[in-house]
Amino acid sequence: HDIEIIKENGSYRLSDNPFTFDALRVVAFNVEGAGYERTYDNIEGVNGRFYNSSTEEFKKVEVHVRYEVDKIAYASHLKTGLQNLLSDHFYLRELATPDNTIQFEDVFASNSTQKFELEYVDGSQIYVGLTSQVSFDTTKTSGDITLTFET
């Protein structure tokens, strides 16, 4: 699983980019449905209420990320890089593998690695901005981060 971040100066994958390199891995990606504000009027002679309009409020995107760095000092650099990557508003696209089938591997083969090609889940791009703080323990070399975005 991965997400693509599309900004003015290019597109990046969260798991491999020039800001955080390959220290991040997407664990979960969830787009919560948009909330709607609906307006109704009570009109004399109409049974019930009369529907006027609805306004889409916002969509909320929650991404759970796992980080892993070699040294504790790199965790602070990772936080700065992640903040730089997620600054301003940008488009998000979800990537996932269409086939999770694990191929048979020969026990004695030296270079046997599983390859899972990622594809776009659908054609939607969500224009978002980061609303949560980039916060994780920089005294550990690995851990989890929850990032929240809103349209």
Q: What is the pTM of this model?
A: 0.81
Q: Which phi and psi angles does 5 have, rounded to 5°?
A: -110, 120
Q: What percent of the chain has pLDDT over 90?
A: 64
Q: Quote the CA–CA distance of 32 and 23 in Å, as a whole number.
A: 26
Contacts 24+ apart (CB under 8 A), 15-22: 17/85, 19/81, 19/82, 19/84, 19/85, 20/78, 20/81, 20/82, 20/85, 21/81
| pLDDT, average across residues 5-12 | 94
Select the CATH number that applies to the domain covering 2-100+115-150 from these four: 3.30.565.10, 2.40.30.200, 2.40.50.140, 3.20.20.80: 2.40.30.200
> Could you tell me if 141 and 70 are in contact, meaning their C-beta atoms sit under 8 angstroms apart?
yes
Give the pLDDT band of residue 112 (cuts 50, 70, 90): low
